[in-house]
Amino acid sequence: MRRGAIGIGTLIVFIAMVLVAAVAAGVIIGTAGYLEQRAQAAGRQTTQEVASGLKVVNVYGYTNATPPSSGTIQRMVILISPNAGSEGIDLSNVKIVLSDGRRLVVYNYSGSFQNAESVKDLFNTTEVPIWNNITNNASFAIAVINDIGSEMQNSHPTLEFGDMVALCIWTTMFEYEGKNGIGPSTKITGKVIPERGAAGVLDFTTPATFSYNVMQLQ
């Protein structure tokens, strides 16, 4: 009887150990699966953050003064396109940050949108009437230069690989020698910041003298 009791006790202990091991294995397997899924999701998000983003192709400034050297840059066009491998970027959530060292201006999307693929002069307010919608406001309008999929629309314009747009802004919030606008030999820094991904960098110094009404700045 004593041997049978010892055997039954040993069996009970053995079964208990097996059950505990099974539960522990289940917890470990479940945790490992959860961590694996989290790692995959984090990897995808990291890849999107690294690959996605904007690049600044060119920046142009405009003064309407005659002669140009007597004026200031009052309007600016920033040409942007997505980085290689970037996902679609909703331009309605983009911010433009611009500073001349004395003033910092943040531009938001105004909702003004125009297809400008056939436009000859981006600074011509007749050809590009969206300029009149953002006069003296800290907002930007979008002129579409190239839309590969022909799918861009004004509510949520999405920039995809191969697309290029011009972000149109007024710079009359800045001041130079009592005149609205950006003057000569002025260091300008800033960024074009998407909702997710790398920002496009703005970093240039305006010419020492304005010889033309339209000038390339970056």
Q: Pick the closest to residue 96 from 138, 57, 131 (CA basis).
A: 138
Whether the pLDDT of residue 111 is over 70: the answer is: yes
Question: Collapsing DSSP states into helix, strand and coil, what is residue 158?
Answer: strand
The number of distinct structural domains making up the chain is: 2
Whether the pLDDT of residue 5 is over 60: the answer is: no
Which of the four pLDDT bands, split at 50, 70 and 90, describes residue 3? low
Assess whether 62 and 164 both reside in one domain. yes
Assess whether 57 and 47 both reside in one domain. no
Q: 19 lies in which domain range?
A: 1-51
Q: Which pLDDT belongs to residue 15?
A: 77
Assess whether 72 and 27 both reside in one domain. no
Lowest mean pLDDT among 25-29, 92-96, 107-111: 25-29
* pLDDT tens digits along 25-80: 777 777 766 656 665 554 455 444 455 799 999 999 999 999 999 999 999 999 99
CA distance 94 to 140: 10
116 or 39: which leads in pLDDT: 116
Q: Which pLDDT belongs to residue 201?
A: 96
CA angle, 125 then 119 then 195, to 5°: 85
Assess whether 69 and 13 both reside in one domain. no
Assess whether 112 and 174 both reside in one domain. yes
Assess whether 104 and 197 both reside in one domain. yes
Assess whether 133 and 207 both reside in one domain. yes
Q: Which pLDDT belongs to residue 32?
A: 66
Assess whether 42 and 57 both reside in one domain. no
Assess whether 101 and 126 both reside in one domain. yes
Q: What is the DSSP letter of 209?
A: S
Assess whether 125 and 75 both reside in one domain. yes
Q: Which pLDDT belongs to residue 87?
A: 85
- Looking at every residue in the chain, the average pLDDT score rounds to 87
Q: Which pLDDT belongs to residue 185?
A: 96
* pLDDT tens digits along 125-160: 999 999 999 977 899 999 999 998 777 888 889 999
Q: Which pLDDT belongs to residue 6?
A: 62
